[in-house]
Amino acid sequence: MLIGILFSYAGTRVDILTVMLLQNLLLGVLFFLGAVPDGFSREMLLPVAIMAVTGVINLLAMFALQKSMAIGNPGAAWAIAQSALVGPYLGALLFLGERPTVVRVAGIVLILGGMALLGISSKKSIDDAGQSAGKGKYLWLLLAFAAFGLLVAAQYVVTASSQWSGEVGTALRAGAMSLGCVLFAGGVKAVRRQFRFRPDRRTVICVVGLTLLGLVSQSTTFITVDRLSEVGAAGIGYPIMMGSCIALFFLYTAIVLKEKSSICGKIAVAVLVAGIFSLCFS
């Protein structure tokens, strides 16, 4: 939720490529320092490469999401992109051999139903955002769905990486994702010949804030899917985390940003929370 708030705060007023480059450079250093005591081996190269590519995919998703939130409706864009949470669950059922249960399926259905209600409750604000964008009135919506697709892929790989947790720990996997982001963002800046950097207050806040939040969120994400994998439930990790995130961010946009909240929107949050509790106690 806090990462979403920072992206909303950044808007189009910072060079998001520079922010992501610096954030992931700091994160990579911190995570790799944590991985050093465990040592490295040749067998780790393929998992590290896969996680680095996943980092690039995740970075592209964040670019698309940040741009969508900047030019359209922040709450609706965030909800669309984060509904990618269903991807890891379906992937775990199809490819990781996890078994569905009535309670877990009910939880997923409730979360998806809550997001659908959020979409209905946001219809007016979506229309208003489109009208204010002129010729590109649907661009922000397309970017939100692009972020959705990319996040499905990235979140599934992170979930599946729990199968390697015995050989490749949290710090190395998280550090590899940051490494991929650094290489991609640095390559783009090199191609554009953007070598100058003037730190302003807003950029510094975003870099420091995203680094601290990324350190906590990435660590707890990998720890979560690893622990859940031990009991055959890795697929519910992202639905619980992202469902909570969507509900809380909706409340933030309604209370802090003063976006209009209808009765439908409030019901949507209640349904989301019910789905989250269903998964937590499944």
Q: Distance from CA of residue 198 to its chain's centroid?
A: 28
What integer pLDDT is reported at residue 226 of this predicted model? Answer: 93
Q: What confidence tier does 131 reach under pLDDT thresholds 50, 70, 90?
A: low
Domain count, the chain: 1
What integer pLDDT is reported at residue 242 of this predicted model? Answer: 80
SS (H, E, C) 128-160: HHHHHCHHHCCHHHHHHHHHHHHHHHHHHHHHH
When pLDDT is averaged across residues 116-135 and rounded to a whole number, the result is: 58
Short-list 53, 48, 54, 24, CA closest to 168: 48
| % of the chain at pLDDT higher than 90 | 29
Whether residue 17 has pLDDT greater than 80: yes
What integer pLDDT is reported at residue 60 of this predicted model? Answer: 93
Whether residue 121 has pLDDT greater than 80: no
Cα dihedral 136, 203, 218, 34 sign: positive
Whether residue 234 has pLDDT greater than 70: yes
What integer pLDDT is reported at residue 61 of this predicted model? Answer: 93
When pLDDT is averaged across residues 163-172 and rounded to a whole number, the result is: 84
What integer pLDDT is reported at residue 264 of this predicted model? Answer: 79
Return mean pLDDT, the chain.
Answer: 84
Owning domain of residue 208: 2-280
Distance CA 7, CA 145 (A): 17
Higher pLDDT, 36 or 185: 185
What integer pLDDT is reported at residue 90 of this predicted model? Answer: 85
| % of the chain at pLDDT higher than 70 | 90
When pLDDT is averaged across residues 18-27 and rounded to a whole number, the result is: 92
DSSP string, 175-244: HHHHHHHHHHHHHHHHHHT-------HHHHHHHHHHHHHHHHHHHHHHHHHHHHHTTT-GGGHHHHHHHH
What integer pLDDT is reported at residue 49 of this predicted model? Answer: 94
When pLDDT is averaged across residues 22-28 and rounded to a whole number, the result is: 94
Whether residue 68 has pLDDT greater than 90: no
Q: What confidence tier does 146 reach under pLDDT thresholds 50, 70, 90?
A: very high
